[in-house]
Amino acid sequence: MSNASDRTFGRSTGARDSGEHWLSVSDLMAGLMMVFLFVSIALMRDAMVERDKIREVAVAYQENQVELYQALVDEFKNDLKEWDAEIEKETLSFKFKSPDVLFDTGKISLKPAFQDILKDFFPRYLSVLMLFRDSIDEVRIEGHTSSVWNHQTTKDEAYFKNMELSQGRTRSVLLYVFGLPGIALERSWVREHVAAVGFSSSRLVKNDDGSEDLERSRRVSFRVITNAETQIRKILEN
């Protein structure tokens, strides 16, 4: 009777211990699930905060770009036709499109007519930019050429000869505007933020049929690069 009772009680005790063991494991798993849940919520919250910050920068960038574009249009709307120039809203590029006015064929020296335009244009252009200086990372003077050189050169040779030509032309433009008396007060800013870049024939202007527009491909642009990308990178790094 006693042995039967012991066996009975023993079995009962074992069952109870097993139940307590599984109950402890269940509690542990439930606790871990709660920890994972809180961690996930925290990570989601941080991601949402970061996303909102990036969105704020993007919205501010778009609004700032529109304001800068409109300020340039207001300043130069009466000059664009005379200078054969245009302002591109998407890239904030001020383009001088008439190669006959800019340089002689194969030369890097500015024509007198282009010097006169720059003498009028650049101090006014800089005055507009100074209203937005906190959001400007760089101003690029960009030189572009057609894809041709002469009949004796290969396509690759023409590309590198035009690269040298486009770089020389943008340096000539920068050298000229840097020495204008009208920008004396902002010369240090120009030194730190304005760059001369030659693109050779890498960004050709095409006709409607897809062929190269030789004349329009030869151009000089002043392009504003904002610091929105830098601000977004700082958010991601932090």
| Cα–Cα dist 23/18, whole Å | 8
Residue 165 burial (C-beta neighbours within 10 Å; 0-12, 13-18, 19+): buried
Answer whether residue 8 shows pLDDT above 50. no
Q: CA angle at residue 141 from 135 to 144, to 5 degrees? A: 135
Q: Which pLDDT score is estimated for 84?
A: 96
In this structure, what token pair is assigned to residue 172? Answer: 């000539």
Residue 20, classified by CB atoms within 10 Å of its CB into exposed (0-12), middle (13-18) or buried (19+), is exposed
**Domain-located, residue 39:** no
Do the domain assignments include residue 25?
no
Greater model confidence, 141 or 26: 141
* pLDDT score for 227: 83
81, two tokens: 């036709």
pTM over 0.75: no
**Is 42 part of any domain?**
no
Q: Does residue 9 carry a pLDDT above 70?
A: no
Residue 107 is assigned to a structural domain of this protein: yes
Residue 58 identity (one-letter amino acid): A
**What's the CA gap between 199 and 101, in Å, rounded?**
19
Task: Identify the domain containing residue 152 by its residue range.
Answer: 66-237
**151-184 residue pLDDT tens:** 889 999 999 999 999 999 999 999 999 999 999 9
What pLDDT sits at residue 60? 63
Tell me what pLDDT residue 54 has: 59
Residue 201 has pLDDT above 50, yes or no: yes
The first and second tokens of residue 89, run together, are 């809203």
Q: What is the mean pLDDT of residues 78-83?
A: 97
User: How far apart (Å, rounded) are the C-alpha atoms in residues 156 and 174?
Assistant: 27
CATH value at residue 171: 3.30.1330.60
Tens-digit pLDDT profile for residues 32-76: 777 777 777 777 776 676 666 656 656 666 778 889 999 999 999
The residue that leads in pLDDT, 84 or 40, is 84
Q: Is residue 19 part of a domain?
A: no
What is the reported pLDDT for 35?
Answer: 73
Q: Report the candidate in 115, 154, 141, 114 with the shortest Cα–Cα distance to residue 162.
A: 154
Is the confidence at residue 19, as pLDDT, over 80? no
> Could you report the per-residue pLDDT of 224-234, keeping only the tens digit for each?
998 876 666 56
SS3 content of the chain, % helix, strand, coil (to 5): 65, 15, 20
Number of domains in the chain: 1
The verdict on residue 79 lying in a domain is yes
The answer to the question of residue 57 being in a domain is no
Report the pLDDT value the prediction gives residue 87, as an integer from 0 to 100.
97
Q: Does some domain include residue 20?
A: no
